[in-house]
Structure 1
Amino acid sequence: MTGEPSSFDEQLTASVRADRLQLILLPTEQCNFRCTYCYEDFAIGRMAPEVVSGVKKLIDRRADGLSHLQLSWFGGEPTLARSIIEDIASHVLRAQERCKGLRYHSDMTTNGYLLDGPVAEHFARLGIRRYQVSLDGPAEHHDRTRLRADGKGTFERIWSNLLSIRASPADVHVMLRIHLTPENIPVMADFLRLVRDTLLVDPRFTVFLKRVVRLGGPNDPAMEVLESDDPRIAALVSLVAEGGAEERLYEPEEVCYAARANSLLVRADGRLGKCTVALSDPANTIGQLLPDGRVRIDNAQLRPWLQGWESRDPELTGCPYVAFTSPQPRLVQITNRRSELQTPT
């Protein structure tokens, strides 16, 4: 084969490079929210001390050979375990001082309830500079679906925190994941104008319009969802882009992190996985992190997550989990599931 490598080949190379490592860390699997469409069971608490030690020792084992380390914080709600985040992130900064060629980036998926401007500034000093925060529309809709564990609403606090970040000098980027449902879509035009004119004027903010889908939660049977080709979604995308804000729209990556060999999910109990959506699926447990930083991988469990590279199937590298969830060899609308499973709710 001659000529320049194809995009697929370049992505394949990037996914197996030994000098790059992504660790998706769950410092706690508890949450202060009980969103109506959530798929998590909150059966596990804070990351055990031996797992924290194992993460740090894994980083130490790998640091000399890495050109790039990415820590992605997930949960539960990661900010409930702030001390663990600070411990591990500080450890990485010390490792970076020893390994001058090591580039380090960090991001967080958070409900935003405990993330205001001062916290964002503090985390930025620890290298955490990219966030995903979800909103379900204006308060009267958001507070029906993104509830605190005690049943109270969350919109006012989150919106206040976003304004606090906007007013701060924090060197961060916030991707607003705005959920679309049959119930809230009639009011979304006005809400998105507010978001566009209030937050998107700051280049540190972008928007990802995402329809809520069924991801295995207990309320799935009663949920009504929008079809992926609903023309109202496209109209809202156009609305956000008005006034030069098109660059503030987020586009999901073509390759899912779960398809990358150099990406590992580390759960609070030390189990290793690939996908942040399939937390309760036994197929998602591919090994164990040991307290000394070594990883024990079950290759038979890992192989299906990587099969898209072997088959050169960009649909399976876009979402490897469909190989487990589809009753047929292929899903008819597999492309539509990519962004649903790539970026956690």
Structure 2
Amino acid sequence: MDAQDATASGYSDNLIAELGASVRNDALHLILLPTEKCNFRCTYCYEDFSIGRMSASTIQGVNRLIDRRLDGLRFLNISWFGGEPLLARSVVEEISAHIHDALAGRPDVEYMGDMTTNGYLLDAPAVARLSSLGIRRYQISLDGPQPIHDQTRVQAGGAGSFHQVWGNLLAIRDGREPVDVLLRVHLTPDNLPLMPGFLAEIRDTFLTDARFSVILKPVERLGGTNDDAMDIIEEEAREKILAELRPVVLTGGDARRLQPVPDVCYASRPNSLMIRANGLVGKCTVALTDPANAIGKLLPDGTLEIDNVLLRPWLRGWESQDWAALSCPANGIPRDRTTLLQLSPTRLGLAART
């Protein structure tokens, strides 16, 4: 389907651009979970921490998968997730060193390494070492000033975490490493009264440094054990609240300080896969315990065994042109196998590639 035909059939230019980026076979995005254990017990967390450190056979499989794909790639993005990925920093470094060596003399491949981390273990030496291995983008969550943050982003032993995380952020600011830090600021009914002042502090402390930016995210009920007790900002109130808070972040700077929520979730992209610590392959880092999110497995030789019937519902938004399904394919995912068989991503060239 060319662009003219696509537009005639109802595809918007934005959808065409997103589709083109998502199906290209010379781009690969792997979300790797080096461990699913965590040193935090955030009150809104949805993970069960049942799987530990990535096994040697899975590490081998990741390295060989990258080796198998490298000749056909122009873009490689490795995203580190968990649990807390820095609890298995040696795994992160082992795979990252392999990628670093494999890319030596390969200027044709553009590489980006990023990490979602709670920031507690991200001290200056860790930043320097990981930066040398190509990991130069971080997402770190903050829940408000220390009294609020320490009630919700709690260490596994019960202590707060704000002082250590804030100190590590200051060390990054005061250092010279070529890294970017996205501060994910969570919004709840409890912290909203303090949020204008806290965002002003973030703005004045970090956002004069172009390496730092902010994303504003209302906390959601995502299947955690505390969901029933959580008080969240209702959907209908969110846009008004966000409209009031955005100018605080942007005052005195430009739009790059404030990052938008992406229109298309990574889980909707055919060239994005999550590899869990036990070698299972999925699409979504939230629905970890959902059977629909186990679409295959990684073998030690680097091959992927993907069940295309299970993959199809994650990609359904492209054919239906449904932005809701593209922005969160896990929401309302079809489960009946007859329905799954009727979904045909191959019509759009979306068959799994291994």
Whether 1:65 aligns to 2:67 is no
Report the counterpart of residue 314 of structure 1 in structure 2.
Answer: 323
For residues 239 and 203 of structure 1, the distance between their equivalents in structure 2, rounded to whole angstroms, comes to 17
The one of 36, 51, 76 aligned to 1:29: 36
Once the 2 structures are TM-superposed, how far is the Cα of residue 245 of structure 1 from its aligned partner?
A: 4.6
Residues 1:195 and 1:209: Cα distance change in structure 2 (over 3 Å): same
**TM-score (norm. length: structure 2):** 0.89
Q: Name the % identity.
A: 55
Report how far residue 117 of structure 1 moved.
2.6
Q: Secondary structure at the match of 1:323?
A: coil
CA offset digits 1:163-183 (Å, max 9, x no partner): 000010010000000111111
Amino acid at match of 2:258: L
Confirm or deny that 1:125 pairs with 2:125.
Answer: no
Look up the SS of the partner of 2:77 in the other structure.
strand
CA contact (8 A) 1:57 1:293 kept: yes
Q: What secondary structure does 1:218 align onto?
A: coil
Who is 1:337 aligned against?
none
After TM superposition, the score normalised by the length of structure 1 is 0.91
Give aligned pairs, total. 326
Whole-Å separation in 1 of the counterparts to 2:178 and 2:20: 31
The secondary structure found in structure 1 opposite 2:317 is helix
Structural RMSD (CA): 1.6
CA 59–84 in structure 1, closer or farther in 2 if over 3 Å, else same: same
Counterpart residue number, 2:244: 235
- Aligned twin of 1:187: 194
Contact 2:313 2:334 in 1 (8 A): no
Question: Using the alignment, how far apart are the partners of 1:166 and 1:245 within structure 2?
Answer: 19
The answer for the alignment partner of 2:310 in structure 1 is: 301
How big is the shift at 1:97? Answer: 1.6
> Post-superposition, which runs of at least 4 consecutive aligned residues in structure 1 deviate over 4 A?
none
Query: What's the counterpart of residue 145 of structure 2?
Result: 138
Correspondence 1:1-345 to 2 at 5 A:
2=4, 6-97=13-104, 99-228=106-235, 229-230=237-238, 231-324=240-333
Letter aligned with residue 78 of structure 2: L
Report what 2:346 is aligned to: none
CA contact (8 A) 1:121 1:171 kept: no
Question: In 1, Cα distance between the equivalents of 2:323 and 2:47?
Answer: 28
Separation of aligned partners in 1, 2:283 and 2:97: 25
Alpha-carbon distance between aligned partners in 2 of 1:63 and 1:252, rounded to the nearest angstrom? 30
Paired with 2:110 and 2:57, the residues of 1 have a C-alpha distance of 26
CA drift at 1:292: 0.4
Contact 2:23 2:271 in 1 (8 A): yes
Contact 1:121 1:169 in 2 (8 A): no
**Conserved 8 A contact 1:272-1:288:** yes
Instruction: Return the letter of the residue paired with 2:96.
Output: A
Secondary structure of residue in 1 paired with 2:217: strand
CA distance in 2, matches of 1:98, 1:64: 12
Q: For 2:259, what is the secondary structure of its paired residue?
A: coil
Q: Does the 8 Å contact 1:63/1:99 carry over to 2? A: no
For structure 1, the residue ranges without an aligned partner over 5 or more in a row are 327-345
Q: Are 1:260 and 1:306, in contact at CA under 8 Å, matched by a contact in 2?
A: yes
- Post-superposition offset of 1:145: 0.3
The whole-number CA distance in structure 2 between the counterparts of 1:78 and 1:65 is: 28
Partners of 1:4 and 1:41 lie apart in 2 by: 43
Q: Which whole-Å CA distance do the structure 2 matches of 1:2 and 1:28 have between them?
A: 46
- Alpha-carbon distance, 1:319 to partner: 1.5
Q: Which amino acid aligns with 2:27?
A: R
| CA distance, structure 2, for counterparts of residue 192 and residue 120 of structure 1 | 24
Q: Give the drift of 1:4.
A: 9.4
| CA–CA distance in structure 1, aligned partners of residues 153 and 249 of structure 2 | 23
Q: Which moved more, 1:96-105 or 1:269-278?
A: 96-105
The one-letter amino acid paired with 2:201 is L
The question of whether the paired residues in 2 share the 8 Å contact of 1:106 and 1:129 is answered with: yes
Separation (CA, whole Å) in 2 of partners of 1:325 and 1:155: 40
Q: Comparing 285-294 with 3-12, which one deviates more in the overlay?
A: 3-12
